[in-house]
Amino acid sequence: MSRKNKGEGTVLLSRLLLIGILLVLSQFFLPSLIFLFFALIPTILSYITDHSKIRYKWLCVGSLNTAGAMPYLFMLWFNDNSFSSAIELAFDMGHLSIMYGAAFAGFLIYIIVPPAVASYVQASNQKRLVNLKDSLQRLIDVWGEGVTLNEENIKSKKK
């Protein structure tokens, strides 16, 4: 019984310690978090709407959206890392258009690149198939239809 109480006490203590640390850290990171929340809305939306296994859409949009948000995040960190500064940076229309524009660019990459790559691969496969069929036809042209028959076909044809 006593052993149980002792264990519960340790957990409670560690939780209080964690909360304490978080409160200290949040004093430093809260402006960044608030800024990132508004800056990365396209990433959050794409994460919610992407139901694929590997979530390529989220990765494409997120990576460029993050890249678009980074200059302003650096401004926040290296100048006035305050809540008001974070709000100001996040709601500036110029900043938003750059951050969301970068996200849109990521979305465009997601839309355009896969079909383009697939088309290229398909085209090269198609070409190989055509080459194979050409070789086949060349054999027929040189050796006649007989080349297409195996022994059983030849026998049945003779009959």
Give the residues lining the site for other proteins (CB under 8 A).
54, 56, 59-61, 63-64, 66-68, 70-71, 74, 78, 106, 109-110, 112-118, 120-122, 125, 128-129, 132-133, 135-136, 139-144, 146-148, 150, 158
Contact present, 154 and 146 (Cβ < 8 Å):
yes
Using the minimum distance from each CB to other proteins, give the nearer residue, 9 or 115: 115
Please report how close the Cβ of residue 49 comes to other proteins at its closest, in angstroms.
Answer: 16
Match 């304490």 to its residue by tokens.
Answer: 20
Q: Which two tokens stand for residue 46?
A: 């794409």
| Minimum CB–partner distance for residue 90 and other proteins (Å) | 18
Distances (CA, A) of 104 to 33, 88, 115: 22, 22, 18
Q: Which is nearer to other proteins, 2 or 150 (CB)?
A: 150
| Identity of the residue, 38 or 77, whose beta carbon is nearer to other proteins in the bound complex | 77
Number of neighbours of residue 125 by Cβ within 10 angstroms: 10
Q: Which of 69, 79, 67 is nearest to 34 (CA)?
A: 69
Cα angle, residue 36 at apex, residues 24 and 107 outer, rounded to 5°? 155
Nearest distance from C-beta of residue 25 to other proteins, angstroms: 22
Shortest Cβ 67–other proteins spacing (Å) = 4
The residue among 15 and 128 lying less far from other proteins, judged by its C-beta, is 128
